[in-house]
Structure 1
Amino acid sequence: MSTSADYRAAVPHHNAITDSYLAEFAKTGIRPSELKEAVRESTEDTTFQGRSLSRPVFLTKAQVTLLADDLERLHSALTGLPDRMFGGDMAAFAHAVGTTAEQAAAAVRGRMERPPRIGRADFFLDETGFKLMEINWGSAVGGLDSGPLNKAMLAQPFVGDFVREHGLTYVDPMEALVDTLLTECAIPAGTRPVVALTDWPKSFEKLEPQLHKSAAGLAPLGLDCYPCHVGQLEYRDGAVWLGERKIDVVYRLFLMEDLMDPTGPGLIEPVLRAAERGEVGIFAPMDAELYGSKGALALLSDEANRHLYSVEELAALDRILPWTRMVRPGPVTVDGSSVELTDYALANRTELILKPTLMHAGQGVLPGWTADAGTWQDAVRDAMGEPFVLQRRVRSVPEVFPTDDGSEEWTLTWGAFMVSKGYGGMFMRGTLDPNATVNMATGATGTCCFHEA
């Protein structure tokens, strides 16, 4: 274990707020385990799965302002791809980012006049700043229920005093979500929509307690929410029903990948038809997931497409987006030179990571630096022409977290939400293993974020 003093000296970009917190916390005599236990209840039946790190993380005003600006530029470049590259042809865009024909057909139905502003961009933080790993777009993004952990941390005297004394604040993603849903679904002011939090049958078995807790949290914010799975919805009398409740909005938690389930088309088709008839709103429509495809990042990263973006968009993309390409045979541009993709991938195994375009929760991801040459070669060849991308490795700088007997270095994923009004808060999770996929489903541990006002 390293000490915080050693770490701060070794990492020049580490912000002064964190330095101050670590130094002041060390003087209190508070055991980090006591703080984690004090906030544990706020993490139960949430995306955090009952786990929390021993402190919040912090961003300066300059960091969060630049991040918010870059999110705006990323959103405009990303959601502009169908029109700029494909003349508005969503089916062609869907094919280009790695969907199946069935997924593409579902995605083009119910498309909104403008792309939805609900998503989460997942970043690593290296010596130069935030680097984008992937985007999760649409209403099924995880971590929107992270606000209660901020509140629980603020209730701890030391943390609350530190936040106030340093002029810090936070954005509650759940509050930002409600504003976005009301805006995107054109809900009349002063009304309380009835919302079905609609999951897939298999995952609903596990997530139902979490959805009930989220529904309780959304009620004071103006939504009447009822958890269910898509098989429980009924279609009659020109409306969509959950039991005897007429539904105004289907909050879509089922995913495009669920269409691959044998029962998928039969369960999803009635919802899409009801939305097309104007009987119910869907938040967010299926096309939202196309913007979360890693294939879309490959289009943004390709030098051949730079002429499509504004000067401001290019500056943001150059700051945050690592080199990313679809796994296709033929030449690609790397740092200004043309090389054969297969040759480049095999020669640079330890600097690349292989990812499926549309899967989630770390499924199918292979970091080259964790694989031997033979395994990597087989994986690249199997992925060739399939919906996979190669992305350049980002070396995330770890953050120090106090423990009862010293400190630990955690590799963090910074999940920044994009909502109707812009930056919508942060979903933080970390791992002690710098080679692991940072995902709650595979054992990551979460925390919350405060930033300078």
Structure 2
Amino acid sequence: MSAERVTALYNEEFRAPGSGLPKVAQYVKEFPTLAPWHGEYLARPLFVAERELRAFADDLQQLVDMIFSLPDRMFGGDLDAFRSVLGIDNGRWEAIRRFGDPLPPYYGRADMYHDGTSFKLLETNLGSESGGWALASEMSKAAMEVDAFAEFARANRLAYVHPIHAVVESLRRFGARVAPDREPVVAVLEWRDGLKDYGELWLNFQSALRSAGLDILLAEVPDVHERGGALYLGDTQIDVVYRAFVPDQIAEEPDGWELAAPLLRAHQSGRTLTWTPLSSNVFANKACMALLSDPRRRRAFSGDECRLIDRVLPWTRLLDAEVLKTDTGLVDTCIERREQLILKVNGKGGGVGVVVGWETDDAAWRRAIRELAAEGCVVQQRVVPRTEIVVDPVTGETGAWQAAYGMFYTPQGCAGAYAKVVPAGSGGIISVAAHAEARSAAVFHQSELPAWGEVPAVGEPSTATAK
């Protein structure tokens, strides 16, 4: 059965007199581990075919491995040449180099759209600063505690992978290097004043991790100090720093290195570990996708790898000051195809610095190409997300929404998914931070193959408490 058919069945049951499905969103909103987060939720979960998630997860892992290999494949192992093409300046590069660890672990959240045929990758978001893990976990967990949804899930073989359980496994394995016989002490570290902006999300993360059996601390970089080669929060020694800051913050603030010095000393001593290293930001740079997509660099890849790239990645090209001067053909193509293209700054996320061609006039588009290329950006083919039909639980009216899916991944593989959704046609950027009507949504896959990852076993008795 297709995801569209599952959606149609769900909406039909949702409208039925006395149905308990309209209660799902409110139950999710009031779920204890989600209480710190004050965002809004879609009236229903989204449904995808397990085979599609499996296929995309396999492709994603291979594609990230290809990104990790880019310095060797294209630059003869010269990391300085590699970072120069990515537009990473000397300040950020110094922060990345001094913290060492040239290759990061496979850990992050890939953002993608489903175009009605398959998933297309938009960004890799490699690194521990990528959010949404707890939202994805607890939205799905909460939905399964509503009797009506649990019954629908069993009848239609719906399941999910719990991202937070994958986080716990990764942190325990990593922390065992310094705490082999006990639970590691883990602290999420935001930059100075970071908890003012992201505190709700990290409290949600903390609550979910504790619910899964791993206690963590929340703090900002100025709160910690180094003693004897280890990092401390008050009198508590930290085994693992769950990094929530980025190299830019060290490099761009006047006292950035002073604030980072205790972390650097502890990191270099090896008594306190950093999850994940700052090198994650190198390989999460959007220019890496342009290097994969550029036909002039295809000789670095096998035929199977090229087919994978074309299957998963939209047409993506690098724009920088050098390209503006030397590749007039590409620039002309970007100008001519404005309504099918989007500009994204290489080192920024969350929709920051994005310019949507189909929402921009010709003059503004030309100016954006010139200005963003000077900073370093990519231009990418527009992907139109498929429409998700949702019934409003209050009015009963049917609405059309579009989703940006986030797939979580750890060294052990795919770790589940969730979605951010906005009303169809309401803007080119699907982001909770950038869109007033944005909602978060759980994602369930319809099982077609033997159990995949950690999923609630279909057919088991429900632990539901909501009626």
Give 1:143-162 correspondences, 5 Å limit: 143-145=132-134, 146-162=136-152
Residues 295 and 193 (structure 1), Cα distance of their counterparts in 2 relative to 1, 3 Å cut: same
Other-structure match for 1:428: 419
* Two-structure CA RMSD over aligned residues (Å): 2.3
In the alignment, residue 341 of structure 1 is paired with which amino acid? Answer: L
Deviations 1:111-138 (A, max 9, x none): 4374311111100111321111112110
How far apart are residue 35 of structure 1 and its match?
3.0
CA distance in 2: counterparts of 1:113 and 1:180, whole angstroms: 19
Other-structure match for 1:181: 171
Deviations 1:57-98 (A, max 9, x none): 112222122112111211211111122222333333222222
In the alignment, residue 420 of structure 1 is paired with which amino acid? Answer: P
Residues 19 and 119 (structure 1), Cα distance of their counterparts in 2 relative to 1, 3 Å cut: same
CA distance in 2: counterparts of 1:114 and 1:372, whole angstroms: 41
Other-structure match for 2:441: 447
Other-structure match for 1:18: 7
Deviations 1:369-413 (A, max 9, x none): 101111111111112342111111111112111113321111100
How far apart are residue 242 of structure 1 and its match?
0.5
Other-structure match for 1:56: 45
CA distance in 2: counterparts of 1:193 and 1:81, whole angstroms: 34
Other-structure match for 1:85: 74
Residues 423 and 155 (structure 1), Cα distance of their counterparts in 2 relative to 1, 3 Å cut: same
Q: Is the 8 A contact 1:73 1:312 kept in 2?
A: no
In the alignment, residue 412 of structure 1 is paired with which amino acid? Answer: A
In the alignment, residue 118 of structure 2 is paired with which amino acid? Answer: G
CA distance in 2: counterparts of 1:445 and 1:77, whole angstroms: 33
Which consecutive unaligned segments of at least 5 residues does structure 1 have?
Answer: 1-11, 333-337
In the alignment, residue 130 of structure 1 is paired with which amino acid? Answer: F
- Say which of 108, 119, 126 aligns to 1:137: 126
Other-structure match for 1:368: 357
Residues 128 and 331 (structure 1), Cα distance of their counterparts in 2 relative to 1, 3 Å cut: farther
CA distance in 2: counterparts of 1:362 and 1:229, whole angstroms: 24
Aligned with 2:125: secondary structure? strand
Other-structure match for 2:271: 279
- Say which of 418, 434, 440 aligns to 2:409: 418
How far apart are residue 231 of structure 1 and its match?
0.9
Q: Is the 8 A contact 1:331 1:340 kept in 2?
A: no
Deviations 1:249-282 (A, max 9, x none): 1110012232323333322243123211213100
CA distance in 2: counterparts of 1:376 and 1:440, whole angstroms: 25
- Say which of 231, 236, 239 aligns to 2:227: 236
Residues 263 and 430 (structure 1), Cα distance of their counterparts in 2 relative to 1, 3 Å cut: farther
In the alignment, residue 441 of structure 2 is paired with which amino acid? Answer: T
Q: Is the 8 A contact 1:15 1:60 kept in 2?
A: no
CA distance in 1: counterparts of 2:315 and 2:406, whole angstroms: 20
Other-structure match for 1:349: 338
In the alignment, residue 142 of structure 2 is paired with which amino acid? Answer: A
Aligned with 1:305: secondary structure? helix
Other-structure match for 1:8: none
Return the TM-score normalized by structure 1: 0.89
Aligned with 2:383: secondary structure? coil
In the alignment, residue 336 of structure 2 is paired with which amino acid? Answer: A
Other-structure match for 2:161: 171
CA distance in 2: counterparts of 1:410 and 1:440, whole angstroms: 14
Residues 209 and 445 (structure 1), Cα distance of their counterparts in 2 relative to 1, 3 Å cut: closer
Q: Is the 8 A contact 2:387 2:424 kept in 1?
A: no
Aligned with 2:320: secondary structure? coil
How far apart are residue 185 of structure 1 and its match?
4.6
Q: Is the 8 A contact 1:324 1:389 kept in 2?
A: yes
Aligned with 1:133: secondary structure? strand
Aligned with 1:140: secondary structure? coil
Other-structure match for 1:117: 106
How far apart are residue 290 of structure 1 and its match?
1.4
Q: Which moved more, 1:279-288 or 1:150-159?
A: 150-159
Q: Is the 8 A contact 2:406 2:418 kept in 1?
A: yes
Residues 29 and 409 (structure 1), Cα distance of their counterparts in 2 relative to 1, 3 Å cut: farther
Q: Is the 8 A contact 2:14 2:21 kept in 1?
A: no
- Say which of 215, 221, 228 aligns to 1:224: 215
Q: Is the 8 A contact 2:143 2:149 kept in 1?
A: yes
Deviations 1:407-431 (A, max 9, x none): 1111100111121111111121111
How far apart are residue 433 of structure 1 and its match?
4.7
Q: Which moved more, 1:86-95 or 1:141-150?
A: 86-95
CA distance in 2: counterparts of 1:287 and 1:363, whole angstroms: 21
CA distance in 2: counterparts of 1:58 and 1:91, whole angstroms: 44
Deviations 1:20-54 (A, max 9, x none): 222332325448764322221234323xx331101
Residues 28 and 143 (structure 1), Cα distance of their counterparts in 2 relative to 1, 3 Å cut: farther
Identity %: 32
How far apart are residue 359 of structure 1 and its match?
1.1
Other-structure match for 2:259: 267
CA distance in 2: counterparts of 1:112 and 1:223, whole angstroms: 25
Q: Is the 8 A contact 1:346 1:377 kept in 2?
A: yes
Q: Is the 8 A contact 1:137 1:289 kept in 2?
A: yes
In the alignment, residue 316 of structure 1 is paired with which amino acid? Answer: L
How far apart are residue 432 of structure 1 and its match?
0.9
Other-structure match for 1:40: 29
The total of aligned residue pairs comes to 435
Aligned with 2:279: secondary structure? helix
Q: Is the 8 A contact 2:189 2:220 kept in 1?
A: yes
Aligned with 2:124: secondary structure? strand
How far apart are residue 326 of structure 1 and its match?
1.4
In the alignment, residue 172 of structure 1 is paired with which amino acid? Answer: H
Are 2:195 and 1:204 equivalent residues in the alignment? yes
In the alignment, residue 416 of structure 1 is paired with which amino acid? Answer: M
Return the TM-score normalized by structure 2: 0.87
